[in-house]
Amino acid sequence: MTTRRRTAAPNAEWVLMYRGGLTRSRIAALTRAPAATIGYHLSVALAADPGLQAEHEKAAGPPPVQVGGQGLARMRQLMVMVQETGRYPSRTTADADERRLASWLERRRRDAAAGTLAPAYRDGLAALPDWQRPPRPVADEARWRDRLAALVRYRSAGHDWPRHKTIVTGEEHDLSVWLHLQRQKARRGELEPDKAGALDEMLPGWRSGRQRGRKPGTGTV
Protein backbone atom coordinates (compact mmCIF):
# COMPACT_ATOMS: atom_id res chain seq x y z
CA MET A 1 0.00 0.00 0.00
CA THR A 2 1.47 3.31 -1.04
CA THR A 3 1.04 6.50 0.94
CA ARG A 4 1.30 10.09 -0.25
CA ARG A 5 4.01 12.02 1.52
CA ARG A 6 2.63 15.23 2.94
CA THR A 7 4.50 18.39 1.90
CA ALA A 8 6.36 19.96 4.78
CA ALA A 9 4.18 22.51 6.45
CA PRO A 10 3.76 25.35 6.16
CA ASN A 11 3.96 25.78 2.39
CA ALA A 12 5.75 29.10 1.89
CA GLU A 13 3.81 30.00 -1.28
CA TRP A 14 0.43 29.43 0.36
CA VAL A 15 1.43 31.43 3.41
CA LEU A 16 2.55 34.31 1.18
CA MET A 17 -0.79 34.25 -0.64
CA TYR A 18 -2.67 34.26 2.66
CA ARG A 19 -0.52 37.10 3.96
CA GLY A 20 -1.47 39.01 0.81
CA GLY A 21 -5.15 38.83 1.69
CA LEU A 22 -6.35 35.75 -0.22
CA THR A 23 -8.78 33.42 1.53
CA ARG A 24 -8.26 29.69 2.03
CA SER A 25 -10.83 28.86 -0.62
CA ARG A 26 -9.27 31.29 -3.10
CA ILE A 27 -5.81 29.80 -2.54
CA ALA A 28 -7.23 26.30 -3.05
CA ALA A 29 -8.88 27.37 -6.30
CA LEU A 30 -5.69 28.97 -7.63
CA THR A 31 -3.34 26.15 -6.63
CA ARG A 32 -5.82 23.28 -7.18
CA ALA A 33 -4.85 21.91 -3.81
CA PRO A 34 -7.48 20.46 -1.44
CA ALA A 35 -8.99 23.10 0.83
CA ALA A 36 -8.36 20.86 3.83
CA THR A 37 -4.66 20.73 3.00
CA ILE A 38 -4.50 24.50 2.61
CA GLY A 39 -6.20 24.85 5.98
CA TYR A 40 -3.69 22.53 7.66
CA HIS A 41 -0.69 24.43 6.32
CA LEU A 42 -2.16 27.79 7.29
CA SER A 43 -2.99 26.59 10.80
CA VAL A 44 0.66 25.61 11.23
CA ALA A 45 1.77 29.01 9.91
CA LEU A 46 -0.64 30.87 12.19
CA ALA A 47 0.60 28.98 15.21
CA ALA A 48 4.20 29.90 14.38
CA ASP A 49 3.47 33.54 13.48
CA PRO A 50 0.82 35.25 15.67
CA GLY A 51 0.92 38.36 13.50
CA LEU A 52 0.00 36.54 10.30
CA GLN A 53 -3.75 36.83 10.85
CA ALA A 54 -3.56 40.59 11.33
CA GLU A 55 -1.48 40.98 8.16
CA HIS A 56 -4.00 38.89 6.24
CA GLU A 57 -6.95 40.99 7.43
CA LYS A 58 -5.17 44.26 6.68
CA ALA A 59 -4.30 43.13 3.16
CA ALA A 60 -7.80 41.80 2.53
CA GLY A 61 -9.32 45.15 3.52
CA PRO A 62 -12.71 45.72 5.11
CA PRO A 63 -15.54 43.39 4.17
CA PRO A 64 -17.82 44.60 1.36
CA VAL A 65 -20.37 47.14 2.52
CA GLN A 66 -23.84 45.65 2.51
CA VAL A 67 -26.42 47.81 0.76
CA GLY A 68 -29.98 47.52 2.04
CA GLY A 69 -33.25 48.15 0.30
CA GLN A 70 -33.63 51.61 1.84
CA GLY A 71 -30.23 52.68 0.49
CA LEU A 72 -31.07 51.49 -3.01
CA ALA A 73 -34.40 53.30 -2.82
CA ARG A 74 -32.57 56.52 -1.85
CA MET A 75 -30.24 56.12 -4.80
CA ARG A 76 -33.16 55.65 -7.21
CA GLN A 77 -34.90 58.68 -5.69
CA LEU A 78 -31.75 60.76 -6.20
CA MET A 79 -31.36 59.67 -9.80
CA VAL A 80 -34.97 60.54 -10.60
CA MET A 81 -34.62 63.97 -8.98
CA VAL A 82 -31.41 64.86 -10.83
CA GLN A 83 -32.80 63.68 -14.15
CA GLU A 84 -36.06 65.61 -13.70
CA THR A 85 -34.76 68.84 -12.15
CA GLY A 86 -31.16 69.03 -13.34
CA ARG A 87 -29.90 69.70 -9.81
CA TYR A 88 -28.81 67.86 -6.70
CA PRO A 89 -30.74 67.96 -3.41
CA SER A 90 -30.12 70.82 -0.98
CA ARG A 91 -29.54 70.46 2.77
CA THR A 92 -31.24 73.80 3.42
CA THR A 93 -34.50 73.33 1.54
CA ALA A 94 -37.81 73.43 3.39
CA ASP A 95 -38.66 69.99 2.01
CA ALA A 96 -37.77 67.35 4.63
CA ASP A 97 -37.50 64.52 2.09
CA GLU A 98 -35.04 66.52 0.00
CA ARG A 99 -32.94 67.34 3.07
CA ARG A 100 -32.74 63.64 3.95
CA LEU A 101 -31.75 62.85 0.38
CA ALA A 102 -29.06 65.56 0.49
CA SER A 103 -27.66 64.08 3.71
CA TRP A 104 -27.61 60.62 2.12
CA LEU A 105 -25.74 61.95 -0.90
CA GLU A 106 -23.22 63.75 1.31
CA ARG A 107 -22.45 60.46 3.11
CA ARG A 108 -21.92 58.71 -0.21
CA ARG A 109 -19.54 61.48 -1.30
CA ARG A 110 -17.54 60.99 1.90
CA ASP A 111 -17.50 57.23 1.31
CA ALA A 112 -16.23 57.75 -2.22
CA ALA A 113 -13.48 60.09 -1.02
CA ALA A 114 -12.43 57.55 1.61
CA GLY A 115 -12.50 54.66 -0.87
CA THR A 116 -15.24 52.82 1.04
CA LEU A 117 -18.19 53.38 -1.31
CA ALA A 118 -20.23 50.21 -1.76
CA PRO A 119 -19.93 48.80 -5.31
CA ALA A 120 -23.72 48.93 -5.74
CA TYR A 121 -23.69 52.67 -5.06
CA ARG A 122 -20.58 53.23 -7.15
CA ASP A 123 -22.09 51.55 -10.20
CA GLY A 124 -25.49 53.20 -9.82
CA LEU A 125 -24.28 56.73 -9.14
CA ALA A 126 -21.88 56.53 -12.08
CA ALA A 127 -24.89 57.31 -14.28
CA LEU A 128 -25.14 60.81 -12.77
CA PRO A 129 -22.95 63.58 -14.20
CA ASP A 130 -20.06 64.46 -11.91
CA TRP A 131 -22.06 63.39 -8.84
CA GLN A 132 -19.04 63.62 -6.53
CA ARG A 133 -18.52 67.27 -7.42
CA PRO A 134 -21.69 69.04 -8.56
CA PRO A 135 -21.42 71.45 -11.52
CA ARG A 136 -20.75 75.06 -10.59
CA PRO A 137 -24.38 76.25 -10.92
CA VAL A 138 -25.45 73.50 -8.54
CA ALA A 139 -22.67 74.35 -6.09
CA ASP A 140 -23.56 78.05 -6.30
CA GLU A 141 -27.20 77.25 -5.57
CA ALA A 142 -26.19 75.16 -2.55
CA ARG A 143 -24.01 77.98 -1.22
CA TRP A 144 -26.88 80.46 -1.65
CA ARG A 145 -29.21 78.19 0.32
CA ASP A 146 -26.57 77.74 3.00
CA ARG A 147 -26.24 81.53 3.37
CA LEU A 148 -29.99 81.90 3.59
CA ALA A 149 -30.19 79.26 6.32
CA ALA A 150 -27.30 80.90 8.20
CA LEU A 151 -29.02 84.29 8.13
CA VAL A 152 -32.28 82.73 9.32
CA ARG A 153 -30.41 81.19 12.27
CA TYR A 154 -28.66 84.50 12.95
CA ARG A 155 -31.96 86.40 13.10
CA SER A 156 -33.67 83.65 15.10
CA ALA A 157 -30.96 84.02 17.73
CA GLY A 158 -32.23 87.58 18.41
CA HIS A 159 -29.74 89.57 16.32
CA ASP A 160 -30.72 92.61 14.31
CA TRP A 161 -29.94 92.66 10.59
CA PRO A 162 -26.19 92.35 10.00
CA ARG A 163 -24.48 95.69 9.46
CA HIS A 164 -22.95 96.36 6.08
CA LYS A 165 -21.40 99.83 6.43
CA THR A 166 -19.89 99.28 9.86
CA ILE A 167 -16.55 97.57 10.32
CA VAL A 168 -17.47 94.08 11.46
CA THR A 169 -15.82 90.72 11.12
CA GLY A 170 -16.71 87.08 11.26
CA GLU A 171 -20.21 85.81 10.68
CA GLU A 172 -21.89 89.23 10.73
CA HIS A 173 -19.54 90.51 8.04
CA ASP A 174 -20.11 87.50 5.79
CA LEU A 175 -23.88 87.64 6.19
CA SER A 176 -24.02 91.41 5.70
CA VAL A 177 -22.10 91.22 2.42
CA TRP A 178 -24.36 88.43 1.16
CA LEU A 179 -27.55 90.24 2.19
CA HIS A 180 -26.36 93.52 0.67
CA LEU A 181 -25.79 91.70 -2.62
CA GLN A 182 -29.32 90.25 -2.55
CA ARG A 183 -30.78 93.73 -1.96
CA GLN A 184 -28.79 95.16 -4.85
CA LYS A 185 -29.96 92.41 -7.17
CA ALA A 186 -33.56 92.91 -6.05
CA ARG A 187 -33.41 96.65 -6.78
CA ARG A 188 -32.02 95.98 -10.26
CA GLY A 189 -34.60 93.28 -10.91
CA GLU A 190 -31.88 90.64 -11.21
CA LEU A 191 -32.82 88.46 -8.23
CA GLU A 192 -34.46 85.19 -9.29
CA PRO A 193 -38.15 85.06 -8.30
CA ASP A 194 -37.75 81.83 -6.32
CA LYS A 195 -34.91 83.34 -4.30
CA ALA A 196 -36.81 86.55 -3.67
CA GLY A 197 -39.78 84.46 -2.58
CA ALA A 198 -37.64 82.41 -0.22
CA LEU A 199 -36.24 85.59 1.35
CA ASP A 200 -39.71 87.12 1.69
CA GLU A 201 -41.04 83.97 3.33
CA MET A 202 -38.18 83.18 5.66
CA LEU A 203 -36.85 86.69 6.39
CA PRO A 204 -39.69 89.24 6.35
CA GLY A 205 -38.32 92.78 6.17
CA TRP A 206 -35.05 91.76 4.55
CA ARG A 207 -35.38 94.43 1.85
CA SER A 208 -35.39 97.38 4.30
CA GLY A 209 -33.17 96.03 7.06
CA ARG A 210 -32.44 97.84 10.32
CA GLN A 211 -34.97 100.33 11.63
CA ARG A 212 -33.70 101.16 15.11
CA GLY A 213 -31.10 103.86 15.42
CA ARG A 214 -31.27 104.91 11.80
CA LYS A 215 -30.40 108.55 11.26
CA PRO A 216 -33.01 110.64 9.38
CA GLY A 217 -32.38 110.72 5.67
CA THR A 218 -30.12 107.71 5.56
CA GLY A 219 -30.80 104.96 3.06
CA THR A 220 -31.19 101.28 3.57
CA VAL A 221 -28.23 99.69 5.26
Distance between CA atoms of residues 130 and 200, nearest Å: 33
- Percentage of the chain modeled with pLDDT above 70: 86
121 and 162 fall within a common domain:
no
In-domain check, residue 215: no
For residue 112, the model assigns a pLDDT of 87
Question: How confident is the model over 97-101, as a mean pLDDT?
Answer: 91
Q: Per-residue pLDDT tens for 175-200?
A: 999 999 999 999 999 999 989 999 99
The pTM score is 0.41
In-domain check, residue 211: no
For residue 75, the model assigns a pLDDT of 93
* 151 within 8 A of 175, measured Cβ to Cβ: yes
17 and 45 fall within a common domain:
yes
In-domain check, residue 161: yes
In-domain check, residue 217: no
Q: Which domain holds residue 25?
A: 12-60
> What's the number of domains the chain is made of?
3
3-state secondary structure the chain: CCCCCCCCCCCHHHHHHHHCCCCHHHHHHHHCCCHHHHHHHHHHHHHHCCCHHHHHHHHHCCCCCCCCHHHHHHHHHHHHHHHHHCCCCCCCCCCHHHHHHHHHHHHHHHHHHHCCCCHHHHHHHCCCCCCCCCCHHHHHHHHHHHHHHHHHHHHHCCCCCCCCCCCCCHHHHHHHHHHHHHHHHHHHCCCCHHHHHHHHHHCCCCCCCCCCCCCCCCCCC
Does 3 score more than 80 pLDDT? Answer: no
Higher per-residue confidence, 217 vs 82: 82
115 and 149 fall within a common domain:
no
Does 202 score more than 90 pLDDT? Answer: yes
How many angstroms separate the Cα of 216 from the Cα of each of 68, 163, 211, 220? 64, 17, 11, 11
In-domain check, residue 95: yes
Average model confidence (pLDDT) across the chain: 84
Does 5 score more than 60 pLDDT? Answer: no
For residue 68, the model assigns a pLDDT of 83
Give CB contacts under 8 A, 24+ apart, made by 207-210: 207/183, 209/161, 209/179, 209/183, 210/160, 210/161, 210/163
Last residue of a domain, one of 81, 100, 131: 131
Does 142 score more than 70 pLDDT? Answer: yes
How many angstroms separate the Cα of 175 from the Cα of each of 41, 136, 198? 67, 21, 16
Does 8 score more than 70 pLDDT? Answer: yes
Does 120 score more than 80 pLDDT? Answer: yes
CA atoms within 13 A on the CB side of 150: 17
Does 17 score more than 50 pLDDT? Answer: yes
Distance between CA atoms of residues 209 and 221, nearest Å: 6
For residue 179, the model assigns a pLDDT of 94
